[in-house]
Structure 1
């Protein structure tokens, strides 16, 4: 007998812009994903005002998996950080966090917001900060549970019209090459791939060894991160010419060009319904395996 998979637990929060009025990102997410949330029995540990807004909307009316956490000023986001790191009592840690970020909201750079992202990356759990990413991740979890693909989401998974950025910090470049080798056919479905510096060179060498035409790059190279490559790709994202970023971030090393990295992440959040970012090898692997099942 196949064992019942554990209940998924995610932290959930949204900056004011994304929950203040109907039509904001949190409501658009639920309009597209509420059925999937119910199918999964997903437990959403939701910070104060975000939960207030969801309850007013009735988009998850009567759903028992909507669990209140304190307001942000009372430490709600801090508690999410702790629960991503370890569980409470005998419970497992959270499986990830959805934090819909308004990049011009001062609270988006509070220590607890930065720590939530860092701990998710450190522990190989999804940190989802855009509307597109939140819609897609519910589908990823559904596919991992063996549920049938949602045809309404086919446009999100039509990679023939999308550009993918592939970026990795020094300590994770080998893992990026291994990832690309393992999922080469999937990543080749994208209309275009872009990347920075050394990562682009190594990925192109991989592609040429796999039979990719030698007269054209598999990944269009931009400058290295410290020389401005992250900023160049951020501009592509803002112009809606790059929809996805897979960025293997090393959370343990301080970098002189940290501002450029934050610029790229900020750009993704500006176009919240048009772009998303995956920031760790474990999460990128789960995403790829789910999408490959989708066909």
Structure 2
């Protein structure tokens, strides 16, 4: 699950506009735990987390609607991502809804731990599975794709 060049597992942080404050707050409160990971995030979310938590290793990608969701999806397909924290706003229609669904579909297909809200993110951050310490329940075919 990890990039051979880095001993740290990788997490993706994504948040819809109405949930960005919650994601930044989550990152602040959990900065010590998140420091154990390389973080990638969609554009604005990544920039806000970097500003709030300069000690974290955050790589901002493109904005979600401009390709950031697909960039994270590619990391999932390449086997580089250990988890996805995607704080979704269920009350606002998204013009790039197809991208969001594609990203969530890839997380499901590749059996990547995924938190869609803050409560689940807190639980996953404490999980041995997320840090790559526990065995995955993936199908053999998907495991082969990761090698």
State the TM-score, normalizing by the size of structure 1. 0.39
Counterpart residue number, 2:43: 197
Aligned match of 2:122: 285
The correspondence for 1:250, drawn from 89, 95, 103, is: 89
CA deviations over 1:194-242 (Å, ceiling 9, x no partner) = 000110000001122xxx2xxxx72111110111100111001000011
Q: State yes or no: 1:169 paired with 2:16.
A: yes
Paired residues, what number? 122
Please name the residue that 1:62 is paired with: none
CA distance in 2, matches of 1:176, 1:200: 10
CA distance in 2, matches of 1:270, 1:257: 20
Q: CA deviation at 1:265?
A: 0.9
Alignment pair present for 1:229 and 2:38: no
Partner of residue 33, structure 2: 186
Unaligned 5+ segments in structure 2 are 1-6, 129-147
| Cα offset, 1:291, TM superposition | 4.5
Q: Per-residue deviation at 1:161?
A: 3.9
User: Is the deviation greater in 276-285 or in 242-251?
Assistant: 276-285
For 1:166, what is the secondary structure of its paired residue? strand
Cα distance in 1 for partners of 2:46, 2:87 equals 13
| Structure 1 gap ranges (5+) | 1-159
Whether the 8 Å contact between 1:207 and 1:218 is mirrored in structure 2 is no
Deviations 1:250-278 (A, max 9, x none): 11111010011111111112212xx2211
SS in 2 for 1:250: coil
2:113–2:124 Cα contact (<8 Å) kept: no
Q: Is the 8 A contact 2:10 2:81 kept in 1?
A: yes
Q: 1:291 and 1:242 mapped to 2: Cα distance?
A: 15
The 8 Å contact of residues 173 and 199 in structure 1, kept in 2 or not, is answered as yes
After superposition, where does 1:2-21 map in structure 2 within 5 Å? none
Q: What is the CA RMSD across the aligned residues, in angstroms? A: 1.7
TM-score by length of 2: 0.77
Instruction: Please give the per-residue CA displacement for 1:61-84, whole angstroms capped at 9, x wherever unaligned.
Output: xxxxxxxxxxxxxxxxxxxxxxxx
Which structure's residues are more often helix, by fraction? Answer: 1
